[in-house]
Amino acid sequence: MSIVINGRELQFRPGETVLQIACRAGIKIPHLCSLDWSPSPSASCRLCVVEVEGSPKLQTSCTLIASDGMVVHTHTPRILKARRTIVELMVANHPPDCLGCHRAGTCELADLARELGVRPRQYVGIKKDHPLDISSSAIWRDPNKCVLCGRCVTMCHQIQGVGAIDYIDRGFRTQVGPGFYKGINVSGCTYCGQCVRVCPTGALMEHSHVDAVVSELGDPNTVVVAQVAPAVPATLSLGRSKPPTVPVMLEHLAAALKQIGFAAVFDTAFSADVTIMEEATEFLGRLQGGGVLPMFTSCSPAWINYVELHRPDLIPHLSTCKSPQQMAGALIKEIYPKYAGLEDKRIVLVSIMPCTAKKYEAEDLGDVDYVLTTRELTTLWDRFGIDFNKFEDRLPLDPPFAEATGAARLFASTGGVMEAAVRTAASLAGAETPTAPLNEARGLDEVKCFTFDVGDTTLNLAVVNGLGQVRTLLEEGPADLHFVEVMSCPGGCAGGGGQPYGTEAADLHRRLDRIYDADAHAEVHSSHENQSVAALYEQYLGQPLGEVSHRLLHRTYTDRSSGVLANDDAQTKRGARAGAGAPH
Amino acid sequence: MNRSVLIEPCCSLCTHSPGRPCPDLITCIQEGPLCHDDDTCRTLRAERLETVRRGGDGTVLFVGAGTCGRANGALHVIAKTKSYLEERSVPARLVEVGCVGFCQREVFVDLQKGDGLRLSYCDLTPDNVDEFLEAVFEKNELRNRFLYGRYGEAPGYEDVPLVADTPFFSRQTRVVLENCGLIDPASLDSALAAGAFAAAARALTTMTREEVCDMVAESGLRGRGGAGFPTGQKWKVALNTAAHQKYLICNADEGDPGAFMDRAILEGDPFRIIEGMLIAAYAIGATKAYVYCRAEYPLAIARLQGAIAQCRKAGLLGANILGSLTDLDIVIKQGAGAFVCGEETAILASIEGGRGMPRPRPPYPAVAGLHGMPTVLNNVETLANVSGILRNGPAWFRDLGLGEAAGTKVFALSGRVRNTGLVEVPVGIPLREIVYGIGGGAPEGHQIKAVQIGGPSGGCIPDEYLDVPTDYGKLQELGAMMGSGGMVVMDERSCMVDVARYFMEFIRNESCGKCTPCREGTTRMYEILTALTKRPVGEEIQRLERFRGLLHLEELAATIKETSLCGLGQSAANPVLSTLRFFRDEYEAHILEDRCPAGVCQGLRTYAIDTATCVGCMACKKVCPAGAILGERKSAHYIIVDRCLGCGACVDACPKQSITLVA
């Protein structure tokens, strides 16, 4: 079947929209509201309108299903005029402080304005005037910069199934935010950050720690050290024309971070290996000792928030393991000063994470002082004049938290924790360590259920790819599950809320390829074979789930469900500061 | 809840009960008994019907107590009447009815004598009701100053005109409104006695779903909510879409300013809607139906709730209705006050529990609507027409309309016209006939300038174009639309720029905020129009902005119309476009001459002080809120035009009448 767009005959598959066909053919139709992974477009921005021969009305190409023989024009004078007027209307209701905006240079509205030849100050009049919402430690909102495209709402509702933000009020006063004009801290938001990642303007942002980190780096009395999550090198490697492997990229990162003043750079994948040791042991203990099953992974902080805020009934099912970030934090703060002879210094630990929820987690559990997202790391490079994609220096990561296995690298992908855990659990249970990729756990399917034999026992396993699928698993999945991996963000940390801005699914696939490649080429594949980890247990921790590891590496959970948009105390604590609870 | 007398068996041979529904129940009530031949039973049934039709035995007072009547004091009239009757032990009953349609002459009270005589009185107020009651019950003066007309034969009162022959009613064709104001809307019996549910019974027990759809399609009935989509066609789409659950939704979220047809029908004849819904639900195979009614219509909701409960009790709703194996349950869902929730996809979102925001179509609701299931949404007035079509046939319905058009349309006639109220006329009747014929033209000494039709989606049609027939296509050619039926008449005292501004303000507040052109564009248009209604002050730049605004108006209007997501946005610019088209001179007067020809725009008004007569008393200076008046005691004052707000306070304050409006 074929369709003619701007005189070009293009083939298409049934059910495809005109926008999809055009994008594939290199015809750029501006669009703000539609997302690659959204099942039903909201069609709210109206920028992707096209003319269809035989139809008097302009139609949105994101909702227009192609039919055989359809003739479409995408850039006629009539369309250009309409699009320009729409963007001019957005600009007329947008703060003029582009120079101080964190999205300067990456703002899609600015791009559209330039591309469509928007005349500044074409329409003048009142502008929206909403208070900033800085009520949370992870995500901030500036509703004044919002163009109400609704991408964030789509992510929060349709993809993540959380529903913390929505359109509120109506007419010109419409804004996107939590109900009753409250702060996002009481909205039930899990801080997964998927909204931030897709926001086209500066309306949503992480609570930035860049300035604080810069200030710590300039303080002679502190020793600033970093830990880097496995998704970050995989993501950054794609900025180079010949993407280096993840371990090489980590060495570039270590060199660049030390260049700007970090004293040491550790690999969070190391603590991922520790996590596996603890988690696999915990799981086997539950399995053999009649503990609560299925056990859910606890690596993803937004998932923890989801349970504590929305499904406290699942708390007994959560692994008590801290996430790799927090395990690394505890280990670095406990061991590194002694190891490096820095016991009289103040150690400041900065995590570099693909995640916004890690900011909340760090504040909640301590040990980690600052969290920079992948995006903020770019800002940090800019601040210190590092042209990172051309930065060729390499330095090894710092012991004792430098060595990591292929299993730990997989933590950055959906199914990766499961795959890593299965390898070690099999070994701990006395079976052979599997070596082939666990393909049932990999890939972007929403819920992956499969079985795995460990010796005589058949384990029922499930991998949940994104918070929105938790309900699918619980309602439609098998009843006798043993172990479930949940990663809050679709694709896992590779698609995390702290990753570079963007709406294209292709980026995610490339990152996952880098991660799988890192495992394939790793010298050691299983966490229990990590010699540094073995040494750590020998020298400090003793046994997995032992007394020391219990103190350093495990945590408890709190039922916070009553605080969701109801608890006024929580509201006043932060919301009042933000002015986000101001009555209208 | 009123107990239904008619539904009760006539003798032991009649076996109907809601648990064991009799397919012939309705016919039996209205013409029965059918299953056995017994004169006693026939007489009993006929007598019951007659009693119900009279509203009971003896003297009955029917008080028009719809929302419009209540606004005119109907509840006080009722209270006073009640105490009057009690105090004097007058054996008369009071029955609240809906609005007969002549809102201007409310409160209407019909006097029904035991012998069948029914006279209609109007213009009653809480203050004069005692005089009326005294005349009727003490002096026996039935021909008093309140008498409006008679119903039926009325022996001895042949000289009193039939209500239907009075100027307001004589040009109307009352089909949908036939029972409004006449029967007790709280009583199933009243509706049954007036013929309700006969059509539904026939459809459910003797016709296939396809036949019902065909009949409605053949009748030419089009959606009365505004867009005018052929109803039968919509039903067929839903019928032919396979699904395990289908829904019917009655759209009673009437929100256009100046439109109150649906409210009047719901308040005056709720059983007609239920019957229409029953037929529609049967036709498409829906077993669950909703009435989406705005919460601002508490009386309509109460009437509907009562009607649904009575129908359930009588077995006209619920499972296995009239033994036809048809199930239907009706749920009332109250809208929370958003105008956009009258848009069909927004209604779906609202009923599903979401925010009332439209979504793109296709898929159309008839294919994938509520919860993704085939759903037919019909307006109240559309559904009110259905029973008539089934009862009298499609040809009858087509013949009601003029020319190509079919059926009747109810308009809410208001504004600067002598007679205001609800008028039901054949579709296709010229607007002039409604405005001048039924409405009686402009009030004494004034001239009709334009008619606004279709609410915020419609347009203003100038007097010289009023010969246009009320036909979906013809009105659109003039930049207006049939809309739901609001019709506001304006005379030379209305400023068309101000009218456009009013509607634009309405839309900017009521836009759901989802799509950019509607949310942002209407605000800018509103701001431009507001600037036109004010004198530019001081700087030249303001004057230039006003000029630029006029250029922008048309550009914005085009973009909003072309690119908005739903009907609300697509038609939002109509009031501006139509006034620009027909009343461009008024816009030019505002811009070029800083003058509002109608004298409405206060921001353009200013006053001058006659220095010859001003005594310098300073009274005007004291009351001026803007400090626009200068002058010393005992010397002539003057007004600084740039500061003047045009409020006119100085005029009232001046003891010498020295201050006059500068036109």
Domain B188-397 fold: Rossmann fold (3.40.50)
CATH class for the region spanning B408-494: alpha beta
The pLDDT confidence band at residue A570, using thresholds 50, 70 and 90, is very low
Q: Cα-flanking dihedrals φ and ψ of residue B120, to 5°?
A: -110, 130
**For residue B461, how many C-alpha atoms fall within 13 Å in the half-sphere facing its CB?**
27
Degrees (nearest 5) of the Cα angle B221, B225, B228? 45
Tens-digit pLDDT profile for residues A463-516? 999 999 999 999 998 989 999 999 999 999 999 999 999 888 888 999 999 999
Nearest to B517 among A86, A124, A171 (CB): A86
Mutate to test the interface with B, among A47, A158, A172 (most CBs of B within 10 A): A172
Q: Does A150 touch chain B (CB under 8 A)?
A: yes
Q: Are A448 and A439 in contact (CB under 8 A)?
A: no
**Closest Cβ–Cβ partner in A41, A85, A172 for B523:** A172
**Model confidence at A32: pLDDT above 60:** yes
CATH 3.40.30.10 range(s) for chain B read: 59-170
Per-residue pLDDT at B31 = 84
Q: Cα separation of A156 and A163, whole Å?
A: 5
Best of B563, B564, B565, B571 to substitute, by most chain A Cβ atoms within 10 angstroms, is B563
Question: Which residue on chain B is closest to A166 by alpha carbon?
Answer: B355
What's chain A's Rg over C-alpha atoms? 25
Q: Which of B507, B516, B526 to mutate to test the interface with A (most CBs of A within 10 A)?
A: B516
pLDDT of B255 above 60: yes
pLDDT in tens, A200-255: 999 999 999 999 999 999 999 999 999 999 999 999 999 999 999 999 999 999 99
CATH of A2-75, one of 1.10.3720.10, 2.60.200.30, 3.40.50.2000, 3.10.20.740: 3.10.20.740
Q: Say if residue B663 is exposed, middle or buried (CB neighbours under 10 Å; 0-12, 13-18, 19+).
A: exposed
Q: What pLDDT score was predicted for residue B534?
A: 87
Cβ-based contacts of A45 with chain B (< 8 Å): 515-516
pTM (2 d.p.): 0.90
Nearest to A171 among B510, B517, B559 (CB): B510
Q: Which CATH architecture has domain B59-170?
A: 3-Layer(aba) Sandwich (3.40)
Say if the Cβ atoms of A147 and B545 lie within 8 Å.
no
Chain B nearest CA to A125, separation (Å): 7
pLDDT attached to residue B538: 66
Superfamily of domain A210-553: Fe-only Hydrogenase (Larger Subunit); Chain L, domain 3 (3.40.950.10)
Residues B292-302: what's their mean pLDDT? 95
Query: Reduced to 3 states, what is the DSSP secondary structure of residue B480?
Result: coil
Residue among B562, B568, B570 with most chain A CBs within 10 A, to mutate: B562
Give the CA distances from residue A393 to residues A249, A274, A350, A521, B453, in Å, rounded to whole numbers and listed in that order.
10, 29, 21, 22, 75
In percent, the amount of chain A with pLDDT more than 70 equals 97
Smallest Cα distance from A577 to chain B, Å: 28
Chains A and B: how many Cβ contacts under 8 Å? Answer: 108
Hey, what CATH topology would domain B497-592 get? de novo design (two linked rop proteins) (1.20.1440)
Please enumerate residues of B whose Cβ is less than 8 A from a Cβ of A. 338, 340, 355, 357, 359-360, 507-517, 519-524, 527, 545, 552, 555-556, 558-559, 562-565
Which sequence spans correspond to the domains of chain A? 2-75, 210-553
* CB contact set of A157 (below 8 Å; sequence gap of 6+): A163, A166
Beta bridge partners of B460: B452
- Average pLDDT of the residues in B169-189: 93
For chain B, state the CA radius of gyration.
Answer: 28
Reply yes or no on whether the pLDDT at A554 is more than 80: yes
How would you label A341-372 residue by residue, b for 16+ Cβ within 10 Å and e otherwise? eeeeeebbbbbbbbbbbbbbbbeebebbbbbb
Equal CATH topology for A2-75 and A210-553 = no
**Which of A263-267, B39-43, B55-59, B644-648 has the largest mean confidence?**
A263-267
User: Would you say residue A575 has pLDDT above 80?
Assistant: no
Report the relative pairing of strands A346-353 and A222-228 from DSSP bridges.
parallel
Mean pLDDT of A89-107: 93
Give Cβ neighbours of residue B363 (< 8 Å, ≥ 6 apart).
none
pLDDT computed for residue B2 by the predictor: 58
Of A42, A89, A122, the CB nearest to B517: A89
Give the pLDDT confidence of B476-512 residue by residue, as tens digits: 889 888 888 899 999 999 999 999 999 999 999 999 9
* A521: Cα separation from own chain's centroid: 25
Mean pLDDT computed over every residue of chain A = 92
Q: How many alpha carbons fall within 13 Å on the CB side of residue B411?
A: 33
Q: Which residue of B has its CA nearest to A49?
A: B563
For residue range A396-444, list pLDDT tens digits in order. Answer: 999 889 999 999 999 999 999 999 999 998 888 888 888 889 999 999 9
Query: What integer pLDDT is reported at residue B235 of this predicted model?
Result: 97
The amino acid present at A360, given as its one-letter code, is: Y
The mean per-residue pLDDT over the stretch B622-626 comes to 93
What average pLDDT score do residues A296-325 get? 96
State both tokens at A517: 């490649």
Cβ distance B509 to A172 less than 8 Å, yes or no, reads yes
Asked whether B507 and B456 are in contact (CB, 8 A), the reply is yes
CATH of domain B605-662: 3.30.70.20
* A207-222: pLDDT as tens digits: 999 999 999 999 999 9
Q: What is the pLDDT of residues A335-385, one digit of tens each?
A: 999 999 998 899 999 999 999 999 999 999 999 999 999 999 999 999 999
> DSSP readout, A89-132?
HHHHTS-S-GGG-TTTTT-HHHHHHHHHTPPTTSS-S-------
Cβ atoms of residues B209 and B383 within 8 Å: no
